[in-house]
Structure 1
Amino acid sequence: MESTQNQINDSNLLNISEEEDFRKSFQAYYYMMNAKPDIKTKLFTKDVCINLDDIFNLNYLITDKFKSHYNNAGFIINVHVTFNNKKSLFFNSWQLFEQQKWIQSEPIDSILVKWEFNAELPGYKVPQKHTLIVKMSDGIKPEDMLKVMLSGGFDEIQELDKDAYPVIASVDFIDSTLGDELIAIVSNWVKSLNTCDTSSHFLQKLRDHKKKLSYFIQYFFTFTLALCCIKICSYSIEQLPFNKISDLTKTDFINLSYVIFTVVILFIVAKGIFRFVGRSVFEVLRDAVSSHTFNISNGDKKKQDENAKRYKKLKSNVVLKIIFSFIFNIICTIITTIITRVIL
C-alpha cells in the first residue's frame, strides 16, 4: 500500500500547472507557425566614400528585390545616424530620412539602415520575418566586432586581421535563397562605390602592409649592409701582406683588428638606425586614421579636406624615411670603405 502511494507521489512530479501548460502549448503552436531564423554576416574591407545618393540607390535595390519577388505582408525601414560628437538621429521611416537636410557641422560616425520585411513563403501559414541590417562607418569598433563574432553566420575568419570594415551587412532569414540574394545585392553595391582620393588610397595600401614594410626596412637594409661589410673585410684582408695566419705580423694583426672593430661597430649602429626607422614607419602607419567613409553632411566635407592634407603629409613622411634608409645604407658602406683604406 505504501509502495503504491510512493509511485503516485513520483508521478505527481511530472504534473504541470495550468499556466505552464498554456505557455508550453502556445510555444509549440508558435514554432509550428514560425520558423527559427538563421543569420549570415559579411564584412567589406574596400575603402569607400559614401554619399547620400549611394544610400538611396541601396534602398532602391533592396526594396525592388522585395516587391518584385515577394508579396508584401509588412515592411518597415529604420535609419540610425550617429555623429562624431555622440549625437544621433533616428528615422522610423524612409520618407523622414529622405527629407532630412544634412547641414550639420559634425562629421557622421556611422549610419545603420534596417529593413524588416515579412515574406509569404511556401510551407508557412503566416508570413516570415526577414531582417537586413547594413552598417556603414569609418571602421568597426571592438564592441561591434564582438557582436559580429557572437552572432554567428560569419565564415570569413581570414578577414579579421584587417584594420577597418567600412560596411557590414547582416541578414536574419528563413528562406536561405532570399538571405543570399540580399547579401549579394549589398556586395555588388559596395563594388560600385567610389573609393577615396588617390592619396588616401595609397596610404591605405601602405597601412594594410605596415608590418611587412617595417620588416623590409629593418632586415633588407641590414642584410644588404652586412653583405657590404663582409665584402669590405674580405677586400681588406686581401690587401694585407701575408698568405698564411702564421705569416701575420703584429702590425698586420693590429690593422686587421681595427678593420673588424670598425666594421662591427658601424654595422651595430646602422642596424639600430634601420630598426628605429622601421618601427617609426610602422607607428606612423598604425596611428594614421583611416579615410572618412562619408561625404554627406557639411562636417563630412570638411573632414574630407582635412584628411586629404594629412594623407599627403603622412605619405611624404613615409616615403622620405624609406629614401633615408637607402641613402644611409650607401653612406655606411662608403664610410666603412674609406676607414678601412685609411687604416690599411
Structure 2
Amino acid sequence: MTEIINPEGQDMKEVRNVPLQSIDLDTFKSIYYWTNVKPDTQIKIFEERKKIELSNIHELNDRVHQKLDTHKVETYINSINFILSDGNFKEYGSWGEFQRQNWEYINQTIRSINITWDITLSLPNHVLPQKHTLKVRLGSAIPPKEMFQIMFTSDEPSELIESRAEGLVKVDFINQVIANELIKVVNDWHDGLKKVDHESGFIKVLEKRQKYIVSAIANFTPVFFILLAYLYHSLLCNQFGVSKNLNILSLQRSIVVLAFVFSIGILVGRILARWIDRKIDKFKYETGFYISRGDKNYLDELKNDNNKIKKEIIGKSILAVISGVIAVGTKVILEYFLNK
C-alpha cells in the first residue's frame, strides 16, 4: 500500500495512532479532505479509429512520463489490460510485466486496450499529495445490440456516449491545469496515429447504402413480377384463346393472377433482400490493432472473407439481371415465332 506522508514527515499509521486532541486543525482538515473529496472528471472522446502498434503504446507512456516530470510526483502506479477475442483478458499490474509479454505468442485478436495511470502529486495550497487518475481506452465500441441494455441500466447520459466511442481519455483530477495538460498529451498522441484504411469502392457503397439497397430489392421485385405478367398477358391470351375484352370474368381472372404473381414477387423479394442484408453484415473491418499474432492473422482472413462475400453478391446480382433479361427476351422470341 502506498504510504501518505504528512507535512511533518509522519506516515498515516502514526497519525491514526495519535489522539485526536493532539492533531492540529490544519492537519486534520488535510487528512479529511484527502480521504473524502470527490475529484472532478474531464473526458475527451475519440470518434475516429486509428492504427495502434506496440511502439505506439510505449510512445504514449513515454509522453505521459515526460509531462509528469514537470510536476512533483509522490506516487505513481501504471497498469494496462487487454480485452481479447474469444472471451480472453490480459491484465498487467505494472508496466514492467507488460513489457515482458511476447505478443507473437498471442493468437487472439485485440478488441480493446485500457491504460491507467494512478498518480499523487504535491500541489500548492494542499498539505497532502492529491490523487489524479488518467485513463485511456482504445477500441471496442459497444455493439448496437447492447445499446438498449445500457440505456435502461445507466442513469448517466455520458456513459452511453463513452461506450459508443472508438476511444477516449479520461482524467479524474483535483488540479484543472494538470488535467488539461494530460488530455492534450494523449490527444496529440492520438492525432499523430495513422488512420485505419476503410474499405473503398464496392464494399463502401454497400455499407453506406445498405438500408436503401435492401429496401429497393424488397419493393422492386414484386413490381418486376407484375411487369412480366403484363408483358406475357397478350401472348398467353392469344395462345390459349382467351378474350382480351374486359368483362367481369376476365377482370376476376386478371385480379387473381396479378395477386398471385404479386405475392410470389413479395416472397422472392424478401428472400433476396434478407440474403443480401446478411451478406453485407458479414463484411469484416479492421480493428485498428496490429500487435498480436492474432491481429495479423485477422487481417489476412478479413481480406479473403470480404473478397469472397463481394464475389457472391456480384455473382447473385449478375444472375438476377440475366434472369430478368432472359424473361423479357423469351417473351419477344416466343411472340415472334408464334405470330410468324
- Specify if TM > 0.5: yes
Are positions 1:282 and 2:277 aligned together? yes
Q: How many residues align?
A: 301
- Cα distance in 2 between the residues matched to 1:201 and 1:119: 52
Deviation, structure 1 residue 264: 4.7
- Asked if the contact 2:223/2:262 (under 8 Å) is kept, the reply is no
User: What is the DSSP-based 3-state SS (H/G/I as helix, E as strand, rest coil) of the residue aligned with 1:154?
Assistant: helix
- Cα distance in 1 between the residues matched to 2:265 and 2:334: 15
- Cα distance in 1 between the residues matched to 2:264 and 2:216: 18
Are positions 1:38 and 2:33 aligned together? no
Q: Among residues 258, 265, 269, which one is paired with 1:270 in the alignment? A: 265
- Cα distance in 2 between the residues matched to 1:188 and 1:335: 65
- Cα distance in 2 between the residues matched to 1:187 and 1:199: 25
Deviation, structure 1 residue 152: 4.3
- Cα distance in 1 between the residues matched to 2:203 and 2:331: 35
Q: Structure 1, residues 15-66: CA drift from partner, whole Å, max 9, x if none?
A: xxxxxxxxxx999754534641133455545344321122122223333333
Partner of 2:72: 71
- Asked if the contact 1:103/1:297 (under 8 Å) is kept, the reply is yes
User: What is the DSSP-based 3-state SS (H/G/I as helix, E as strand, rest coil) of the residue aligned with 1:299?
Assistant: helix
Map 1:245-324 onto structure 2 (within 5 A): 251-253=244-246, 262-323=257-318
Q: Structure 1, residues 185-216: CA drift from partner, whole Å, max 9, x if none?
A: 44454444334555489757745664444224
- Cα distance in 1 between the residues matched to 2:88 and 2:213: 38
Deviation, structure 1 residue 276: 1.9
Deviation, structure 1 residue 301: 1.6
- Cα distance in 1 between the residues matched to 2:334 and 2:126: 87
- Cα distance in 1 between the residues matched to 2:202 and 2:193: 17
TM-score by length of 1: 0.64
Partner of 2:60: 58
Q: Structure 1, residues 74-121: CA drift from partner, whole Å, max 9, x if none?
A: 222112234435554443333443343322141243432111222444
- Cα distance in 2 between the residues matched to 1:225 and 1:316: 24
**Higher RCO (CA-CA < 8 Å; seq separation 6+):** 1
Which runs of 5 or more residues in structure 1 are unaligned?
Answer: 1-24, 241-248
Are positions 1:154 and 2:141 aligned together? no
User: What is the DSSP-based 3-state SS (H/G/I as helix, E as strand, rest coil) of the residue aligned with 2:48?
Assistant: coil
Measured at CA, do residues 227 and 251 of structure 1 come closer, stay the same or move farther in structure 2, by a change above 3 Å?
closer
- Asked if the contact 2:108/2:294 (under 8 Å) is kept, the reply is yes
Q: Structure 1, residues 152-194: CA drift from partner, whole Å, max 9, x if none?
A: 472874x87x6xx543443323334544554454445444433
Partner of 1:91: 92
- Cα distance in 1 between the residues matched to 2:261 and 2:173: 65
Partner of 2:131: 129
- Cα distance in 1 between the residues matched to 2:128 and 2:42: 23
**Residue type of the alignment partner of 2:65:** T
Partner of 2:14: none
Which runs of 5 or more residues in structure 2 are unaligned?
Answer: 1-24
Deviation, structure 1 residue 250: 6.4
- Asked if the contact 2:226/2:261 (under 8 Å) is kept, the reply is no
User: What is the DSSP-based 3-state SS (H/G/I as helix, E as strand, rest coil) of the residue aligned with 1:252?
Assistant: coil
- Cα distance in 1 between the residues matched to 2:103 and 2:194: 20
